[in-house]
């Protein structure tokens, strides 16, 4: 990969998948790879560490079921509005490659699994949020992802209760597609997954194509 001219608009690459698919590990791996090839990289995640993101994490500790799906969806949207204005757009304007751990596809898949209309969520978000150039969707069965969380992070997740929920979230993700959507089989070793991610990005015309962000 050859760095694009520094004055050009950046690229937005999103990582998606259910909990425990290895998104943050792969993001770090890709960031190291890109930095080593001379790119300027910005790493971001949602929910963010801003006020709305902190509120979401507080609620998550207390059990997100305490609020309605609509309220949950609105909190994620507000967090994203701030992330776009404060972090995502400025980084793209600097010409950075932005690697984002979760975006509005999470809201569609997760809050969709709580019964909300996924197309409506997409429209509400695309009204203000830049459309990503590529979405790397890490696909893994909840059985395996829950086991990874348990052994890897030493957490005994209440995710066992959430297995059925995560099955629905996964089915939602699997129904997505279109421009820039790249499904990745996340059941293999982290090295193999990273290799496939890099190959998939190189095979796509990401570095030469104009940004998909029409705004």
Is residue 137 near ligand TYD by the rule CB under 6 A? no
Which of these segments, 29-37, 101-109, 126-134, 193-201, binds ligand TYD (CB under 6 A)? 101-109
Is residue 102 near ligand TYD by the rule CB under 6 A? yes
Is residue 173 near ligand TYD by the rule CB under 6 A? no
With contact defined as beta carbons under 8 Å apart, do 109 and 169 qualify?
yes
The span from the CA of 162 to the CA of 114, in Å, is: 12
Query: Looking only at residues 36 through 55 of this chain, which bind ligand TYD when binding is defined by CB under 6 A?
Result: 45-47
* Tokens found for residue 213: 């962000």
For residues 67 to 86, the per-residue mask of contacts with ligand TYD, x marking binding by CB under 6 A and - elsewhere, is: ---------x----------
Sheet strands side by side (includes 134-139): 41-45, 97-101, 11-16, 134-139, 181-185
Cis amide linkage into residue 47, ω under 30° from 0: yes
How far, rounded to the nearest angstrom, does the alpha carbon of residue 145 sit from its chain's CA centroid? 16
Q: How far is the CB of 209 from ligand TYD (least distance, A)?
A: 26
Nearer to ligand TYD, 26 or 111 (CB): 111
| Residue that the structure tokens 């050009």 belong to | 8
Residue numbers at the binding site for ligand TYD (CB under 6 A): 19, 45-47, 76, 102, 106-107, 110-111
């Amino acid at each position: 990969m050859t760095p694009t001219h520094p004055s050009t608009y950046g690229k937005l690459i999103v990582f998606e998948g259910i909990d425990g698919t290895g998104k943050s590990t792969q993001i770090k791996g890709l960031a190291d790879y890109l930095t080593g090839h001379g790119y300027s990289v910005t790493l971001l995640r949602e929910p963010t560490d801003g006020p709305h993101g902190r509120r979401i994490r507080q609620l998550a500790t207390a059990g997100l079921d305490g609020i309605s799906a609509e309220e949950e969806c609105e909190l994620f949207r507000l967090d994203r509005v701030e992330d776009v204005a404060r972090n995502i757009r400025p980084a793209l304007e600097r010409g950075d490659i932005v690697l984002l751990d979760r975006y509005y596809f999470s809201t569609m898949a997760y809050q969709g699994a709580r019964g909300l209309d996924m197309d409506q969520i997409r429209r509400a978000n695309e009204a203000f949020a830049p459309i990503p150039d590529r979405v790397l969707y890490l696909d893994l069965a909840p059985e395996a992802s829950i086991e990874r969380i348990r052994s890897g992070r030493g957490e005994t997740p209440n995710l066992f209760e959430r297995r059925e929920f995560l099955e629905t979230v996964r089915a939602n993700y699997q129904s997505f597609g279109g421009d820039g959507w790249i499904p990745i089989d996340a059941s293999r070793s982290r090295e193999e997954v990273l290799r496939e991610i890099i190959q998939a990005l190189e095979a796509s015309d990401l570095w030469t194509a104009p940004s998909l962000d029409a705004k």
